[in-house]
Amino acid sequence: MTQVTLIIAGMALVTYVPRLVPLITRSRRAPSRRQMRILRLVPVTAIGALLIPGSLTSVDGRIDLSLIGIAAAVILALTARHPFLVVAGSVGAVALSLALGL
């Protein structure tokens, strides 16, 4: 238990500090247009990097099952709109594939 408590405390600290420091410090001058353009690109590149390649091995390390889930998510995101359906439908498609013996 002591070991786990230490790990939680250590992880909490090293996760919080990088989130905190930029928010409580100030830049000396307002960012330029180019800097704003770059900062606005960060969420896009972050999602791209978080999706590739991690998503490809997200179900038992298997590309085929992972692609079924991603394809279902893309189709649902384009049509169903409600995000809950995207997540639930994607999990459902993968679970169904597994249940069918893929």
Partner 1 sequence: MRSTRGPVGVGLTILFGYFFIAIAFGAGGRAMGLPAVATAGFSVFVFAGASQFMALSLLAQGAGAIAVTLATLVLNLRHLVMSLALRERIHGSRVPRPILAFGITDEVFAATASQPGAIGDTDLLVTELLAYTGWVGGTVVGYLIGGLLPPSLERAMGIALYAMFVALIVPVLRRSPPCLAPALAAGLVNWGLQGLGVPVGISLLVSIPAVAVLFGFSPGWSPE
Residues 15-74 interacting with partner 1 (rule: CB under 8 A): 15-16, 18-24, 27, 30-31, 34-55, 58-60, 65-66, 69-70, 72-74
Least distance to partner 1 from the beta carbon of 71, Å?
10
**Which token pair is 11?**
């992880």
CB atoms within 10 A of CB 15: 10
How would DSSP label each residue in 1-48?
A: -HHHHHHHHHHHHHHHHHHHHHHHS--SSPPPHHHHHHHHHHHHHHHH
Least distance to partner 1 from the beta carbon of 102, Å?
10
Residue 8 touching partner 1 (CB under 8 A): yes
Least distance to partner 1 from the beta carbon of 101, Å?
10
According to CB under 8 A, which one of 28, 63, 64, 83 is a site residue for partner 1?
83
